[in-house]
Structure 1
Amino acid sequence: MEDNELDFSPLVCVHLLAAKFAFIFLHVGFAFIAVLDGYLSTNALEGVLLSNIGQLVNLTRLDISSNKLHGSIPQSLWNLVNLGSLDLSNNSFNGLIPESLGQHVNMYHLDISSNKLDGIKFMEKGSRLIMPYLNLWYLNLSHNQISGSLPKYIGHIMPSLGDLYLGNNLLNGSIPISLCQSKFFTIDLSNNNLSGEIPNCWEDNQRLYEINLSSNKLEGTFPSSFGSLSSLLWLHLNNNSLKGELPGSLTNLKQLMILDLGDNQLSGNIPSSWTTYTFPSLHILRLRKNMLSGSIPSQICQLKLLKVLDLSLNKLEGSIPWCIGNLQGMTLGKSSYKVNGKQPHKLIAKAPSSVSINVPAPPGLWSNQDVTEVMKGMELEYTKILELVVNMDLSHNNLVGFIPNEITWLTGLHGLNLSKNQLKGEIPQMIGDMKSLESLDMSHNHLSGTIPNSMPYLTSLGHLNLSHNNLSGPIPKDNQFLTFNDPSIYAYNPYLCGSPLPNMCHTGEISHGTPESKGDEDDNEVEKVLFYFVIAVGFATGLWGFIGTLWLKKNWRHAYFRWVEDVADKIYVAFVIKVAKIKKKMMRNHVH
């Protein structure tokens, strides 16, 4: 065998030999071996795919995904006219997807994702070569290097197609209007170079449950017709250049679980009409990095199932609503992934009647989703465990006032970021109840008071930042705080003391050196000023009251001065007599 040919393992040889024998047995009358399956995935197969694979004409399903195969896809592979399901994903195939792909009239599942393919001939040819795919319901060409624009009639040329995955390629141009009129379950065009406006012609087809147009160059306003997609579960429009205000009401999206509009240029207020009646199933609301203004509406507290609330990097003002503790999806024991009391429906695609095998269900609903959140000071992309993430990020706004104590009711929160606002007052004393916290950032605010005694009980806490505040007193030395040895997390709190800061705590330091004692000193200064002011007023009143009386009463003045002269004479006489006696005594002592 040549080096560039596929080196089959014994198990693979058994499969291939069985396929060949089955082809022979068909001529002898063994009709029960008319359908053969080839499962060769995740076997560390290397090399190129043999060209004689096209001789296995009776194969109905071939899965050689997650191997180390490279080179081009053999033309002979497309001679397997009975093939219904083909999975070549997670390899290193390159070149073009061959034109002969259009010969597979029985194909219903095609996955060539995560390769190095750079073109699709059947798309370049238009609808003529795709029309035979009347039964294709799943097409995944994502994570390749496919360039060019989307066919104008892509929404019509594969009438049975349910799931279209073209994300993470190099596609450009605009989004065809035909996508609005398609009957797809899933449309994923994320991470491409698509531009222009999103068509505003979406129709309620009762089956579209995911639209992912994230990370493109799309512009314009939010399409109002999205509100008619009653079956929509996931909507990702993040990382584009969308402008304008958020839609006031999307009252028909009762099943929406993810609304990701982050990293755009949206402006205006967060609609107060977004309540539990609008989004009874919403789990993730991500409006991060826009130009939203106004306050956080209290109606947002009605989103009972909300698990991720990201309003960071906007221009929001006002205070944090006290009702924030009512978000039951962020509370241990009260969270639920159910929609209206039922589990989200899973769409099970059935194979065409002409195919005699069952088609596997699409991948799990949550497992296909990804959302980027800042946690522990880093941007993390959550995919497989997204349904388990519970995070609140209100950072980089202009929020004022106190941190509501009710926020400590959110015992299921993994991350809480309130940094870079104008919050004041103390850290809630009951913050130790938030046992699930792994990341806490309250830096760059005007918080004061001491670090609560309950905070060391946050035993899951792995990231903490309290810098740039006015906190005071000793840093706790118990439990999790023993691991926080980086002084930067406490920096710019001039009245904090203790390890790992250089200024150590001393007896009486809290009462004399803290902002509170400084306030007491200020009060004492005021009292002193008032005291001396009263003395001065009393002295002036008494002095000038006496002098004024003497000035007005002549007889009193004469009597007063006579009394003063008499007293002065008495003092003078007494002084002279005393001095004379002292001199006489001194002379006697001298003579003696």
Structure 2
Amino acid sequence: MCIEKEREALLKFKEGIQVDRCGLLSSWGINDDNNRNCCQWRGIRCSNQTGHVIKLDLRGVEEESYCITGKVSSSLVDLKHLSYLDLSLNNFDQPIPSFVGSLVTLKYLNLSSARFSGEIPHQLGNLSSLISLDLKNDLFVKNLSWLSHLKLLRYIDMTGIDLERAIDWLRIVNDLPFLRVLHLEYCNLPSRVPWPLSYKNSTTTLSYLNLAGNDLNDSSIFQWLFNLSGIDTHLAHVDGPSAFGNMHALSHLDLSFNQLQGPIPDTISNLQSLQYLDLSFNNFQLSQFPKIGNLCSLQILHLEEANIIDELPNIIQTLTGCANKSLLDLCLSDNQIWGPIPDTIGTFSSLQQLSLYNNRLNGTIGRRLGQLSMLETLDLSSNSLHGTLCSSHFSNLSRLSVLHLSNNPALVLDIEDDWVPPFQLDFISLRSCRLGPIFPNWLVSQNNYSFLDISAAGISDSIPDVFTLPSKLSYLNMSHNMIYGTLPYFDVPTTPLYSTLAIDMSFNNIEGAIPPFPVNLTSLQLNNNRFSDPVLFLCPRGEVLLSYLDLSNNLLFGKLPDCWINFEQLSILHLENNNFSGGIPPSISYLKQLESLHLRNNSFSGELPRSLEDCTSLVYLDLAHNSFTGRILPGIGTNHKNLGFLSLGSNNFVGEIPLSLCQLPSLQILDLAVNQISGTIPNCIRNLTAMQSTSDMIPPLQNNHTFGTIESTIHSRDLIVFSILNTDAATIMWKQLERSFGEYLGLVKLIDLSNNKLEGEIPREISALQGLVSLNLSRNSLVGSITPEIGQLTALEVLGLSNNHLSGEIPASITALSSLSNLDLSNNHFSGEIPKGTQLQGFDASVYAGNPQLCGAPLPYCSWDQPHHNSTRGDNTTPQDDTDDDKMFIVGLYVSVVLGFIIGFWGVYGTLVVKRSWRHAFFQFFDDMKDRLYVMVSLSIAKFKRRL
């Protein structure tokens, strides 16, 4: 029987619990005589000798699914003999109670993932008997000195605790003489290691160390790590040397996700017991590990994204010491390794996982790869390998379950048709390898895979009738080939473990009818084929699980069946670019989870049904390029609060723009172009708040689970990672061309109301939409002027206002639109000068054509910008052509020359002829000058001769 005082303490603890979802406390305190013994309550253990409670284990089931919610009562201090306390995986939204430090008999304390918060109380330093401490929570410490008092600790897990201010963490850990396991992942440890550090009293019993995710950048930590060489003999008396198994040296070291860089000291060879080494996501080079091949116990080596720049044969040679005999898992992915897969890889006889994806491997694959008889995972994807793989490369790989060779477009798999593989694969990814043109017959023998991707593999064949899908299949992709013929009926017997299935057969030449598919199908992509009859498929016998369906770009025709009651899980529906006709069936109202509906470019007609208003989850609605008539449903604005994309262009809608559209806060694509819409542009357009920002405001799709383009990566830990898009692809008119946007669609803010019958002025409120990228109001009957606030639309790239009745001057503020690359103001009544700015003068003159009173570059100069001329006609000066000015200048030049000749020559010569006395005096002057010149020359010659 338990102690009554301790029984009451436990019941008080139960009173503080508000929720017990897992029934952990259901047996506590039931009022019957058989249940008064608290030692028999769930999670309680008492001492056989004294009856005291020594163990309280209320561990939850799993993280994020908390069993217990409430507060930890201080009544637990009455459990004076408690040695084991586990409250992990629960929800105690409070700091760790300081009274826990009073439970001095505790040897095991686990408070991990229990949603404790705040600072770790220093009173935990009183638990001097503690052997195991697990505090993994969102906590912090200001000082870690309390940990130094817990000298018997062998296990510490403080993952996620903020230790940024604990600058002495390594000194404290180093002084714990019995510590064997230490978890300090993602603790925001100080990047610098405090030195000097003595090895004399170091924790030589440490066998497991995880310091991942701390941004450590001080490689001197290796001086400490690589000197943890063995157990001190004087420690063996504490609970015996086998208390925690073999305690000889470090066997597990994880320093991934830091900022460490080499070189690595040669003393790494001291770690002869090391079995697991993870240095991924650092800045090492394998050439800086000269002794790593001497680690004879090494089983797992992860150097993913470690900035390794080397040739693979060199790396393999570095590891060929004795490590090649012990290695089970080698991951060198996401580096810059080049070269071939050498035959020396065959010496790694124990290798089970080989991951070299996303490197620069550019050679062939050696045949001795096939000697790795223990190999289970082979990932060589996303490289530039070439050459041919044949059956001999795989003949001895009987244990292979994961084959990932995708994205090696020059790699050829030429395997005989009659070859039967010795393995049954679970994961097959051969995307963008060369398998074709014949469908690979060896795949027919594989009947146990869950993932198959042979997309873009050059297959131009039909699918064999004997090809069947395994029961555990979750993903099938044969897209982007040239597969022809009809699609066989895929009968997949489902099991509870694999309850969903995604199939992608898009971009092929498959024709005929769409057959029924397995009931567990959740995503189906058959777009860009030649299917012609969907009726049977779209009217299944019962409810289906489809959430993503893409039948676009086919030859489907006829009316859309009214069977949507069976598609209640449907979230995305693509039927665009087919030949569907008739109206939208009323049963569309059952698609309560429909978020994306694309019926673009068909022959649908009639008015939009009211049932469409019941699809209240819509985010994307594209009905453009059909023959819909009537008015736009006002319920589109009131019922679809998440609508971010609305395209109703190229139809026959009439009436005014519903004011309810202004109530769509997430709308950032509005296309109503090419309709018969009349009335004015509503002033409430400023309420489209998503267009006031340049950020992506389209709500993410909530119900998409396995659809879209699924990219897969097999990591060295044999983990399948799916990257699933939460956006959809849609088509818009962008710069006069139809373009399909995918993940970047959310960055486009567009209003297109062109080719309608809109009247009135452009509301100045439109200037509030400062995130607007494209605005097209062309081909309407708009009047008035462009608002001066147009310059506030600084993100605008496209502006179309052509073929309206707009007038007045182009506002000068338009020059502020520095991103404007597409402009059309033609065929209006604009006047005055085009505002001067590099952007506006750079457009072709055609964008301003049809505005006779508009002038300025690139149109002819305005009259007030002409050069000044001497001749004027009254107050009006007629601009002269440049050629006329040139002619007048030449005539003036000739006149001046003639007059100069007449005056200069005949003015002198004519006078001498007429007046005789002037003529005699003129010639007498020249005679005298001749005589004087003769005398001067003669005298100069005589003087020169006398000197000689």
- Asked if TM exceeds 0.5, the reply is yes
Determine if the alignment matches structure 1 residue 41 to structure 2 residue 406.
yes
Q: What aligned pairs does 1:120-131 form with structure 2 within 5 A after superposition?
A: 120=486, 122-123=488-489, 130-131=491-492
Give the conservation status (yes or no) of the 8 Å contact 2:576–2:599: yes
* Aligned mate of 1:146, from 510, 519, 522: 510
* Aligned mate of 1:320, from 681, 691, 708: 681
Taking the aligned partners of 2:552 and 2:369, their CA distance within structure 1 comes to 38
- What's the counterpart of residue 497 of structure 1? 855
Task: Tell me which structure has the larger Cα radius of gyration.
Answer: 2
Determine if the alignment matches structure 1 residue 106 to structure 2 residue 480.
no
- What's the counterpart of residue 814 of structure 2? 455
Report how many residues are paired: 473
Taking the aligned partners of 1:18 and 1:321, their CA distance within structure 2 comes to 74
Q: What aligned pairs does 1:37-436 form with structure 2 within 5 A after superposition?
A: 37-47=402-412, 49-51=414-416, 54-102=420-468, 104-120=470-486, 122-123=488-489, 130-132=491-493, 137-151=501-515, 154=516, 157-176=517-536, 177-179=538-540, 181-203=543-565, 206-248=568-610, 250-276=612-638, 278-332=639-693, 336-338=697-699, 344-347=702-705, 360-361=721-722, 363-366=724-727, 369-436=728-795
Amino acid at match of 2:595: L
Determine if the alignment matches structure 1 residue 17 to structure 2 residue 383.
no
Give the conservation status (yes or no) of the 8 Å contact 1:347–1:361: no
Q: Secondary structure of the residue that 1:178 maps to in structure 2?
A: coil
- What's the counterpart of residue 307 of structure 2? none
For residues 3-53 of structure 1, give each alpha carbon's deviation from its aligned partner in whole angstroms, at most 9, with x where no partner exists: xxxxx9767558962775548xxxxxxxxx956311111112344542377
Amino acid at match of 1:109: Y
CA shift for structure 1 position 98: 1.8
Taking the aligned partners of 2:795 and 2:852, their CA distance within structure 1 comes to 30
For residues 241-295 of structure 1, give each alpha carbon's deviation from its aligned partner in whole angstroms, at most 9, with x where no partner exists: 111101235343232110011111000001122224x101111000010000111
Give the conservation status (yes or no) of the 8 Å contact 2:527–2:554: yes
Normalised to the residue count of structure 2, the TM-score between the two structures is 0.47
Give the conservation status (yes or no) of the 8 Å contact 1:260–1:286: yes
Amino acid at match of 2:584: F
Taking the aligned partners of 1:113 and 1:364, their CA distance within structure 2 comes to 18
Give unpaired runs (5+ residues) of structure 1.
1-7, 24-32, 124-128, 509-592
* Aligned mate of 1:469, from 823, 828, 853: 828
CA shift for structure 1 position 97: 1.3
Q: Secondary structure of the residue that 2:796 maps to in structure 1?
A: coil
Give the conservation status (yes or no) of the 8 Å contact 2:841–2:857: no
Taking the aligned partners of 1:469 and 1:296, their CA distance within structure 2 comes to 23
Q: Secondary structure of the residue that 1:96 maps to in structure 2?
A: coil
Give the conservation status (yes or no) of the 8 Å contact 2:479–2:506: yes
Structure with greater helix percent:
1
Amino acid at match of 1:45: A
Taking the aligned partners of 1:463 and 1:398, their CA distance within structure 2 comes to 23
Q: Secondary structure of the residue that 1:266 maps to in structure 2?
A: strand
Taking the aligned partners of 2:470 and 2:368, their CA distance within structure 1 comes to 22
Alignment CA distance shift 1:280-1:121 (3 Å):
closer
Taking the aligned partners of 1:285 and 1:481, their CA distance within structure 2 comes to 31
Amino acid at match of 2:556: L
Give the conservation status (yes or no) of the 8 Å contact 1:313–1:396: yes
Alignment CA distance shift 1:502-1:185 (3 Å):
same
Normalised to the residue count of structure 1, the TM-score between the two structures is 0.74
For residues 422-458 of structure 1, give each alpha carbon's deviation from its aligned partner in whole angstroms, at most 9, with x where no partner exists: 0010011100000110111100000000111110000
For residues 560-588 of structure 1, give each alpha carbon's deviation from its aligned partner in whole angstroms, at most 9, with x where no partner exists: xxxxxxxxxxxxxxxxxxxxxxxxxxxxx
Taking the aligned partners of 1:402 and 1:416, their CA distance within structure 2 comes to 15
| Larger relative contact order (CA 8 Å, sep ≥ 6) | 1
Amino acid at match of 2:511: S
Alignment CA distance shift 1:496-1:363 (3 Å):
same
Using the TM superposition, name which of 369-378 and 432-441 deviates more. 369-378
Give the conservation status (yes or no) of the 8 Å contact 1:311–1:395: yes
Give the conservation status (yes or no) of the 8 Å contact 2:629–2:652: yes
Alignment CA distance shift 1:461-1:21 (3 Å):
same
Taking the aligned partners of 1:438 and 1:331, their CA distance within structure 2 comes to 15
Taking the aligned partners of 2:605 and 2:763, their CA distance within structure 1 comes to 32
For residues 145-179 of structure 1, give each alpha carbon's deviation from its aligned partner in whole angstroms, at most 9, with x where no partner exists: 0011122xx1xx40111111101000112432435
Q: Secondary structure of the residue that 2:772 maps to in structure 1?
A: coil
Taking the aligned partners of 1:246 and 1:205, their CA distance within structure 2 comes to 20
Taking the aligned partners of 1:21 and 1:51, their CA distance within structure 2 comes to 24
Give the conservation status (yes or no) of the 8 Å contact 2:587–2:611: no
Taking the aligned partners of 1:395 and 1:56, their CA distance within structure 2 comes to 64
Taking the aligned partners of 2:589 and 2:364, their CA distance within structure 1 comes to 52
What is the root-mean-square deviation of aligned Cα atoms in Å?
Answer: 2.9
Q: Secondary structure of the residue that 1:162 maps to in structure 2?
A: strand
Taking the aligned partners of 1:168 and 1:390, their CA distance within structure 2 comes to 28
CA shift for structure 1 position 78: 1.9
Q: Secondary structure of the residue that 2:732 maps to in structure 1?
A: strand
Give unpaired runs (5+ residues) of structure 2.
1-360, 377-397, 867-948
Give the conservation status (yes or no) of the 8 Å contact 1:81–1:106: no
Give the conservation status (yes or no) of the 8 Å contact 2:692–2:768: yes
CA shift for structure 1 position 413: 1.0
Q: What aligned pairs does 1:532-543 form with structure 2 within 5 A after superposition?
A: none
Taking the aligned partners of 1:45 and 1:139, their CA distance within structure 2 comes to 26
Alignment CA distance shift 1:337-1:382 (3 Å):
closer
Q: Secondary structure of the residue that 2:790 maps to in structure 1?
A: helix
Give the conservation status (yes or no) of the 8 Å contact 2:625–2:650: yes
Give the conservation status (yes or no) of the 8 Å contact 1:164–1:184: yes
